[in-house]
């Protein structure tokens, strides 16, 4: 028993551990910190690369949308920012899995895994840092899927509504089809700096009576009336073709023609959040599930709720799959491992998505439709991890990679023979 300290705030307390045990505890903590630091680097890099790749394609579409409907540049940035939670949810599992796979494979190549196991550390103890990181990412995923994504979806929809339904400012960008509203589309090959003096003008109108008017003119000018309620488009030296509902056409040649349409400066407000189950947070989904007067279909709410929880709980399972795969992958097998990991993750993602879709339309209850694929995936991960623990060097992935090597070697031997045969034929 330790003796009490007299006249001092701090005293040395015997812990009951020997010096060797204390050294072992400190050294394993150092190993955990080392593994975490090595994993976080590729994880962050993978997330950045995947997010940029996903956002670039959407940014091109947003710029095209903005060019058609008009609007400030910062609107595109705000719309893209609202999409980050959605794309982060797609990128996080893949980035986490690949980062673990790369680190474990590298540690195997550098004989670090053998050194750790020779000191008595088991595979679960080596993987503990990955499991704790997976648990932390699971908590973050609950926040991401449960709160950030719903608000991001609604924010994106609000900005999209603002762009598409924004009041037209009576200007036309050069060589761009502009939707002026009320079925009117305007384009011009040459436009001055103001955007209102046009040359080589094209106008397409869908009339309420079923007629379609197509007008071309050598020049034109856009102007708003003094009360700012109508837009006047004055065209000069052109032709108008009117297609009637019965298919007959009327052609009008004109020197000067003025077209006008209503002009609204105020955009109608967007709807309130919550008309879609994808815009509801997890607590809101839970309340809607138990509300008999909910306006949303119960099947849709249950499918959305269970799918979000299943995706979040999948993060701690990934180390159980990535560690044995990394242990079986040598330098020449990294490409095979990444390709196999991508296939497994895509297959699992689509199985959850399929279950969610079946539950969404009410064909299958949400619990078996979503949690059965999750349970199968969890069982597979646990079994593979257990096999890696029992037989560290002979886990099922090693046999699978050997089979892939055999097939690739057979193909490499087959292709030169075919090429040689073609050369002899010539």
CA atoms within 13 Å, Cβ hemisphere of 194: 9
CA gap 331, 334 in Å, rounded: 6
Residue pair 104/42 in contact by the 8 Å Cβ criterion: no
Confidence of residue 78 (pLDDT cuts 50, 70, 90): very high
For the segment 114-119, the average pLDDT, to the nearest whole number, is 86
The yes-or-no verdict on residue 284 having pLDDT over 50 is: yes
Q: Is 61 helix (H, G, I), strand (E, B) or coil?
A: helix
Q: Pick from 357, 369, 356, 371: which is nearest to 314 by CA? A: 371
Residue 17: both structure tokens together: 């551990």
Between CA 291 and CA 296, with CA 293 as vertex, the angle to 5 degrees is 85
DSSP assignment of 223-291 equals EE-TTSSEEEEEEEEEEEEEE-TTS-EEEEEEEEEEEEEE--SSPPPPPPTTSSGGGS-HHHHHHHHT-
Nearest to 138 by CA among 351, 312, 286: 312
Phi-psi region of 361 (alpha: psi -120 to 50; beta: other; left: phi over 0): alpha
Q: Which is higher by pLDDT, 178 or 46?
A: 46
Indicate if the pLDDT at residue 299 is higher than 70. yes
Residue whose tokens read 């009008």: 252
d(CA 233, CA 75): 28
- pTM comes to 0.74
Determine the pLDDT at residue 424: 52
Rounded to the nearest angstrom, the gap between the alpha carbon of residue 102 and the centroid of all alpha carbons in its chain is 22
**Cα–Cα distance for residue pair 244/26, rounded to 1 Å:** 86
Q: How distant is the alpha carbon of residue 317 from its chain centre?
A: 20
Which two structure tokens, joined as six digits, stand for 19? 């010096």
**SS3 assignment, position 122:** coil
How far is residue 197's CA from residue 219's CA, in Å, rounded to a whole number?
Answer: 8
| β-strand partners of 62 | none
Mean pLDDT for 387-391 is 85
Q: What is the pLDDT of residue 175?
A: 81
Rg (CA), the chain: 32
Is 253 within 8 Å of 223 (Cβ atoms)?
no
pLDDT over 50 at 218, yes or no: yes
Of 324, 321, 334, 332, residue with least CA distance to 102: 334
Residue 376: CB atoms within 10 Å: 12
Tell me what the mean pLDDT of segment 99-104 comes to.
93
Measured at the alpha carbon of residue 132, what is the angle toward residues 368 and 113, in degrees to the nearest 5? Answer: 110
Residue 71 pLDDT more than 80? no
pLDDT of residue 147 exceeding 90, the answer is yes
CB 348 within 8 A of CB 320: no
Report pLDDT for 380. Answer: 94
Would you give the DSSP letter of residue 350? H
CA angle 338, 342, 343 (to 5 degrees): 120
Q: Which of 195-199, 220-224, 262-266, 349-353 shows the lowest per-residue confidence on average (mean pLDDT)?
A: 262-266
CA distances from 192 to 74, 114, 184, 241, 257 (A): 24, 72, 21, 27, 20
Q: Give the orientation angle of helix 128-143 with respect to helix 19-69, to 10 degrees.
A: 40
Structural element, H or E, at residue 201: strand 197-206
- Please answer whether residues 323 and 121 qualify as being in contact, where contact means their C-beta atoms are separated by less than 8 angstroms: no
Q: Which of 123-137, 259-273, 345-359 has the lowest mean pLDDT?
A: 259-273
> Residue 116 gets which letter from DSSP?
H
Cα–Cα distance measured from residue 108 to residue 176, given in angstroms and rounded to the nearest whole number = 57
Other C-beta atoms lying within 10 Å of the C-beta of residue 398: 21
Q: For the chain, give every domain's residue range.
A: 19-163+275-420, 178-262
Average pLDDT, the chain: 84
Q: Which of 151, 177, 182 is nearest to 67 (CA)?
A: 177
Instruction: Give residue-wise pLDDT tens across range 221-267.
Output: 988 777 666 778 899 999 999 999 988 999 999 999 988 766 555 56
Angle at 202 between CA 201 and CA 208, to 5 degrees: 135
| Residue 81: Cβ-neighbour burial (10 angstroms; 0-12, 13-18, 19+) | middle
């Amino acid at each position: 028993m330790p003796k009490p300290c007299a006249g001092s705030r701090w005293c040395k307390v015997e812990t009951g551990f020997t010096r060797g045990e204390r050294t072992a505890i400190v050294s394993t903590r150092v190993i955990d910190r080392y593994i975490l630091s090595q994993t976080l680097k590729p994880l962050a890099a993978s997330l950045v690369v995947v997010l940029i790749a996903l956002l670039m394609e959407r940014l091109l579409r947003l710029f095209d949308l903005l060019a058609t409907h008009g609007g400030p540049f910062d609107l595109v940035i705000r719309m893209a920012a609202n999409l980050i939670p959605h794309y982060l949810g797609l990128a996080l599992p893949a980035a986490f899995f690949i980062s673990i796979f790369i680190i474990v494979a590298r540690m195997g190549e550098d004989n670090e895994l053998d050194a750790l196991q020779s000191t008595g550390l088991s595979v679960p103890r080596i993987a503990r840092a990955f499991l704790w990181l997976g648990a932390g990412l699971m908590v973050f995923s609950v926040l991401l899927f449960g709160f950030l994504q719903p608000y991001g979806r609604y924010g994106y929809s609000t900005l999209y509504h603002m762009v598409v339904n924004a009041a037209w400012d009576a200007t036309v960008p050069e060589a761009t089809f502009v939707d002026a509203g009320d079925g009117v589309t305007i384009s011009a090959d040459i436009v001055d700096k103001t955007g209102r003096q046009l040359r080589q003008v094209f106008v397409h109108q869908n009339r309420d009576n079923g007629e379609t008017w197509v007008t071309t003119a050598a020049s034109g000018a856009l102007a708003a009336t003094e009360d700012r309620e109508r837009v006047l488009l004055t065209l000069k030296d052109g032709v108008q073709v009117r297609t009637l509902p019965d298919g007959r056409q009327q052609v009008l040649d004109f020197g000067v023609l003025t077209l006008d349409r209503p002009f609204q400066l105020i955009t109608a407000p967007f709807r309130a959040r919550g008309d879609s189950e994808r815009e509801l947070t997890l607590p809101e989904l839970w309340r809607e599930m138990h509300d008999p007067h909910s306006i949303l279909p119960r099947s849709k709410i249950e499918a959305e709720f269970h799918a979000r929880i299943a995706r979040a709980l999948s993060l701690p399972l990934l180390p159980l799959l990535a560690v044995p795969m990394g242990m079986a992958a040598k330098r020449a097998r990294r490409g095979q491992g990444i390709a196999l990991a991508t296939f497994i993750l895509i297959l699992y993602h689509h199985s959850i998505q399929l279950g969610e879709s079946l539950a969404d339309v009410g064909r299958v209850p949400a619990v078996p439709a979503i949690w059965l694929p999750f349970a199968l995936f969890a069982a597979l991960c646990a079994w593979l991890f257990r096999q890696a623990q029992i037989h560290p060097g002979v886990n099922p992935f090693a046999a699978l990679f050997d089979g892939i090597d055999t097939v690739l070697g057979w193909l490499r031997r087959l292709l030169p023979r075919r090429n040689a045969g073609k050369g002899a034929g010539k």
